Chain A
Amino acid sequence: MTQSMTGARMVVQALKDQGVEVVFGYPGGAVLPIYDEIFQQNDIRHILVRHEQGAIHMAEGYARSTGKVGVALVTSGPGATNAVTGLVDALMDSIPIVVLTGQVPTFAIGTDAFQEADTVGITRPCTKMNWLVKDTAKLSETIHLAFHVARSGRPGPVLIDIPKDVQFADAHYVPREKIKPSHYQPKVKGDIEQITRLVEMIETAERPVFYTGGGVINSGPAASQLLRELAEATGFPVTSTLMGLGAYPASGKNWLGMLGMHGLYEANLAMHGCDLMINIGARFDDRITGRIKDFSPNSRKAHIDIDASSINKVVHVDVPILGDVGHVLEDLLRIWKSRGRKVNKAGLATWWKQINEWRAVKCLTYKPSSTIIKPQYALERLEALTKGMDRYITTEVGQHQMWAAQFLGFEGPNRWMTSGGLGTMGYGLPASIGVQIAHPEALVINVAGEASWLMNMQEMGTAMQFRAPVKQFILNNERLGMVRQWQELLHGERYSQSWSESLPDFVKLAEAFGCKGIKVSDPKDLDDAIMEMIRYDGPVIFDCMVEKHENCFPMIPSGKPHNEMLLGDDDTQGVINAKGAVLV
């Protein structure tokens, strides 16, 4: 027996059925009926944001740190268009979120009504799937399907556009367990023949490397556990993309650190020199591969991915395995064990000897200073003082993000939230709030640059209102550091528009929001200041004045292979002098 109810009540009921506890949103004319229903219940908590982009990033932070689907609710027109950046961010990084948008009534669609926008048209390429629901009878089914699509296969954002008259009209509610199964059922089990081929390669490889990515994290904690077991049992080195940090612990003995454009020397050279590359849930992004023609030229490559379109997209692989990382690793381990747990011990010993020589280069070395806080030093101290705590890190986008990836260690999955694919400045602050809402007792730190942070700083109001004690750790170099670095290296030191003029006084800004502001500029005061930030029971804006001209190394310039890495400022000579023509 199904119940008859309004579309608006149906929305709330469907969210409850899906186990939703929190919705991030902002009301407006076209979603008023849904907000009225939210007002009349207590099961779902609503977090009022200050800008719709913030709502999406919060839902993303919530989703990434819990493994659940994040939910956002915004109004029509500007509400929906403001959500677009967050949708693309979630699409690029495969984050499962469901976004509900209000729409003008069905009879007004197409008339250029007030706050009307073609939301499904605008967001079609920005979502994994979207729907305009014109009939209340189809609303509950669509919402349940949306959750299924968001979390199945390669996860991603979905959007449901609900006209206001559909919210008011009555229809029968279809509960979650009553909907007919969707034909959309991505394959999770990998092909056993291909997995066996990979096992054979694992048994003989002399210079293997695991190249892991966000797919391991998306596959769930069990996949991370299997990766650890596989790495320990085989003794193979592990590197990871920005998105995959934490799947294998930073303290693990096989850990090489992050790879890619600002990845570690040993990780990139291992990728370049390996004879067997095992890609687990990564996608050969251009920040990883550098020049494709010279990418890992002498290796056989296997690729485990749940998205068939990621396989052979940019790099041709020898062993394609379509399936969920967790399922495939389980089969892989079982088959490898049943065949006698063989590896090429002699080959591996030589390989590790080589890797340790690369490690000895200590590529993260920087010139220390006793008078100025080096950004790397600030992160080293943050890492040392928060190690072992129940800690979650989000970041904005730029140099600070790369340094955070290099200098902070992640021991488990879902602890690191960063905008990888889209590179969205302004992601970190709202994301940190989303994480904190999901983990109220945890220490949540947004490692930020001052320029990125300003892009969504209004969300400090949200943090205050909902008592989310997020720590905004701003490495303030009064520059758009990464832009400045490229201009120095590639545009003849012409620093076009890359400095932060007229910055606010962050301590006063914190006071204005009603939270705590801490400013530090002397390396001697740094530890005490960080401890003060951690101990403070509430949001903190931490203004850490750092060296203004520090560059982020190692660096593989775009279009260069892994073995042509710049390790420090000394390597960049000649780049600056190359007049005009510069390859990136």
Chain B
Amino acid sequence: MRGQKSGWSLGLAGLLAPVTLWLGLFFLVPLLLILAYSFGTSGVYGGITLGFNPSNYLKVFDPLYLEIVVRTFVIAAINTLICLLLGYPLAYFIAFKGGRWKTILILMVMVPFWTSFLIRAYAWVVILNGNGVANKTLQFLGITDGPVNLIFTPGAVTLGMAYAYLPFMILPLYAALEKFDPRLKEAAQDLGASKWHTFWRITFPLSMPGVIAGSILVFIPSAGEFVIPNLLGGSRTVLIGNLVQQQFLQARDWAFGSALAMMLAALLLAAILFYVRHVGTDKLEGV
């Protein structure tokens, strides 16, 4: 019995070794490197001297950069909310009314993934620019007289992000709603709850695991996004992701870039912990 047990442990260790090695080499080591860099001092012509220099972190609180941090989190939060508002009804529809089409409908949610993310982001540039489809349509319908500025606005960034991340919200929501026992809805209605009440007291609280998973899956990559703000936000809608990229590739200030990256990670972790604790299922039950 004992031999068999340790045999299992050996087998398990064997199976876990590759992933441990992989994560150690390509995640943990780089993370520690970034942490070390974030306390280093950047040379004038690039390069980095390690040491303990907290000024990189203090620099983040410079109003110039603080604005970018705040903007990043606001846009990521708005994007998450938009994805939730758009995704919930669709996930609900597929889960409860999809019938035998469920699988096909969910597959269709994933269709955008078949095209490269970059191409899809560029497609929005083509749609939103001065001579793009959006402006032409607005003019054709007589809503605007000439081209209006759609691209390079926070709105354009949010639109592009919502488009890119919507499937990440829909899939966990669908997974949560699909498991929902429809008899609970009947029970609620039997006990005098209207459809509205049934949704808010029963269906929605029970789909909270999906809401939380979807929100996290959308919020984290949104906050770190740099391709979409780069293409659709221009120089006026810079997010942390762009700032980090600039520090590493253009300003060659690796120390500040690393500090920004660490701050982003810490803030995301804090935001998620706060979210899970305060929007968790426990909070919604007493409603």
State whether these chains interact.
Answer: no
Q: Which residues of A contact B (CB under 8 A)?
A: none
Q: Which residues of B contact A (CB under 8 A)?
A: none
